[in-house]
Amino acid sequence: MDKLFVNVREKGPICIGLDTSVDYIPESINKKYDRVEDRLFEFNRGIIESTKEIAAAFKVQIAYYEAEGIQGLLAYKRTLDYIRKEKIPLIADVKRGDISKTAQMYAKAHFSGDFEADMITVNMYMGSDTLEPYEKYLKSGKGLFVLLKTSNPGSGDIQNLKTDSGKYVYQKMIDLLEKKGQNLMGSSGYSAIGAVVGCTHVEDGIAIRKRMKNTFFLIPGYGAQGGTASDVSKYLIHGNGGVVNSSRGILLAHKNDKWKDLEFDEAAREAAVEMRTKIMEELKKREED
Amino acid sequence: MDKLFVNVREKGPICIGLDTSVDYIPESINKKYDRVEDRLFEFNRGIIESTKEIAAAFKVQIAYYEAEGIQGLLAYKRTLDYIRKEKIPLIADVKRGDISKTAQMYAKAHFSGDFEADMITVNMYMGSDTLEPYEKYLKSGKGLFVLLKTSNPGSGDIQNLKTDSGKYVYQKMIDLLEKKGQNLMGSSGYSAIGAVVGCTHVEDGIAIRKRMKNTFFLIPGYGAQGGTASDVSKYLIHGNGGVVNSSRGILLAHKNDKWKDLEFDEAAREAAVEMRTKIMEELKKREED
């Protein structure tokens, strides 16, 4: 998490999401490569190369690769290897959640071996004991982002149920996470256990930020899902303490009228720069207020 | 789910869990095969062959295969292919949970292609909209098991938070699931959306069974985790409406003193038969009461 903090300070809070669907890949790649594995990987390589100066982190969404079976997962592995070699913080968006020995297996799967990432997303519905198997990895520099308040329309179904103490379910989860995080504080002032907090439910987001000063946020929901630069600026502390993810807005920038004459990777770069500029402007406004 | 119902009626409610850890595999397999992929698959093939007359279903826990990277997932694929060819209901224990297009990708990943299963487990913490992408598959015979009340010690952290309506979080989830399930009823009287209900928190289990007459249960927690035959008998309706999973109790039967002179597959068969006999006896007792 410390590495991510430093990167955000230097480059701004942009996380590029590699949710690469086969139907996003332009003809320029498809005509050169026959195998789905190569198509997915070469597209990702183009995006990584064109945006790596702007991205504080890359987030790779494993579902898109699982959907293509073994070939997809070979592309997933190559993508992770490539990002790790570039030494850019790598978040595997896997949203795993399981218990005891099975959770140990997920920790092994995503913090070592073929699919090693720096940080992963996890789902804690099964209870706080599900995080225990990750702890030994967290002590040696890995990080978690626990799903807290997500960006989808139905996120309130469970997360915003009000408990008899007057707190929402997600607020009760904060209590559990804060306790776990205390022993895993980094030099940046943020713990190794971060939280996923979508930027589409701004009131919840502001309340969470207020409660969790030492928790780094992974912030989905920007762009396609409706979150704005002004919204996400409220989730950051002096411009840090979180990364704002954009996937489709970057990966499909070449289908945007503004950039339709550019190659997919050049368009992605333009979109990433624009997103960063917008967010930095909002942050500046907030600091001035 | 109908196929599973019929199988339970004919064979009893035993589900064999292929949570195959590389350190479970005996020397007899390891000396024949060098590759992790082959070791995992050949072990599974032995278990499937020796228990397929007893198993109403097989449940394959993907975490154990993910932990071995690409080789592990090749073994996962071959295991699923083998079970599907045997036409025994196949539950992929993947506990995925995500939103919109990402959830579509998980549905595609686990209901078609390399990793096709008949039923999968899912996590609904993110909200009931996360189930929508699965619905088209459910209408053509696939099934879900949604995590409701799990078998781990910490399962109450979130699931048993009391809401301001007096209901637990998991009971609020029941309301959401019952609504979704109504349009997906099968000829067996059970909907295509089942629930994971662990047998280690028996009071919760009995309450859930009472509320959910048309929901098929996947019941973990038997054996190693502490659930007994008497406990699980309370989760079944006239011996049906659920499958009871055992993994380690079957896969590691050859390390049990009782069966230590048998080959791993023979020992697994003995353990599966013993488990079924115990549960059937308890069911008989309950019917007589």
Question: What is the DSSP track for chain A?
Answer: -HHHHHHHHHH-SEEEEE---GGG--HHHHTT--SHHHHHHHHHHHHHHHHTTT-SEEEEETHHHHTTHHHHHHHHHHHHHHHHHHT--EEEEEEE---HHHHHHHHHHHHSGGG--SEEEE--TT-GGGGGGGHHHHTTT-EEEEEEE-SSGGGHHHHTPBBTTS-BHHHHHHHHHHHHHGGGB-TTS-BSEEEEE-TTSHHHHHHHHHH-TT--EEE--BGGGSB-HHHHHTTSBTTBSEEEEESHHHHTGGGSGGGTTS-HHHHHHHHHHHHHHHHHHHHHHHHH-
Tens of pLDDT, residues B33-73: 999 999 999 999 999 999 999 999 999 999 999 999 999 99
Tens of pLDDT, residues B153-199: 999 999 999 999 999 999 999 999 999 999 999 999 999 999 999 99
Angle at B115 between CA B109 and CA B119, to 5 degrees: 80
Instruction: Report CB contact under 8 Å: B157, A95.
Output: no
What pLDDT shows up at residue A211? Answer: 95
Tens of pLDDT, residues B225-268: 899 999 999 999 999 999 999 999 999 999 999 999 999 999 99
What pLDDT shows up at residue A287? Answer: 85
Is A289 part of any domain?
A: no
Closest CB to B152 among A129, A151, A172: A129
Instruction: Report CB contact under 8 Å: A106, B63.
Output: yes
Residue of B nearest to A18 (CA): B102
Q: Which of A255, A74, A110, A17 is CA-nearest to residue A263?
A: A255
Residue A169 CA from chain centroid, whole number? 22
Closest CB to A66 among B109, B153, B173: B109
CATH number at residue B215: 3.20.20.70
Q: Choose, out of A77, A108, A126, the residue to mutate when testing the contact with B (most B CBs < 10 Å).
A: A126
> What is the enclosing helix (H) or strand (E) of B146?
strand B143-149
Distance, in Å, from the CA atom of A130 to the CA atom of B287, rounded to the nearest integer, reads 37
Residue type, A151: S
Catalytic residue among B11, B52, B77, B95: B95
Strand partners, A245: A15
What pLDDT shows up at residue B51? Answer: 98
Instruction: Report CB contact under 8 Å: B102, A63.
Output: yes
Report residues of chain A scoring pLDDT below 70: none
Q: Which residues are within 8 A (CB) of B43 and not within 5 positions of it... i.e. 6 or more apart?
A: B20, B24, B25, B26, B29, B264
pTM over 0.95: yes
- Length of chain B, please? 289
The ipTM of this complex is 0.97
User: Three-class SS of residue B272?
Assistant: helix
Is A177 part of any domain?
A: yes
What pLDDT shows up at residue A57? Answer: 98
Say yes or no to pLDDT of B289 above 80.
no
Distance, in Å, from the CA atom of B106 to the CA atom of B126, rounded to the nearest integer, reads 14
Residue type, B58: F
Instruction: Report CB contact under 8 Å: A109, B66.
Output: yes
Chain B residues inside the 8 Å CB shell of A67: 105-106, 108-109, 113
B149 is annotated as an active-site residue: no
User: Three-class SS of residue B245?
Assistant: strand
Query: B187 burial class (0-12, 13-18, 19+ CB within 10 angstroms)?
Result: exposed
What are all long-range contacts of B265-274, with beta carbons under 8 Å and residues at least 24 apart?
B265/B46, B265/B47, B265/B49, B265/B50, B266/B50, B268/B16, B268/B46, B268/B47, B268/B50, B268/B51, B269/B50, B269/B51, B269/B54, B271/B246, B272/B14, B272/B16, B272/B51, B272/B54, B272/B55, B272/B246, B273/B54
Number of other residues whose CB lies within 10 A of the CB of residue B285: 12
Q: What integer is the mean pLDDT of B198-212?
A: 96
User: Three-class SS of residue B148?
Assistant: strand
Give the domain extent around A80. 2-284
The token pair that represents A282 in the structure block: 């909002």
Residue type, B223: G
Is A236 part of any domain?
A: yes
Question: Is the CA virtual torsion A110, A112, A118, A124 positive or negative?
Answer: positive
What pLDDT shows up at residue B224? Answer: 83
Instruction: Answer for the pair A215, A177: CB distance below 8 angstroms, yes or no.
Output: yes
> What percent of chain B stands above pLDDT 70?
100
Q: What is the mean pLDDT of chain A?
A: 97
Number of domains comprising chain A: 1
Instruction: Report CB contact under 8 Å: B63, A103.
Output: yes
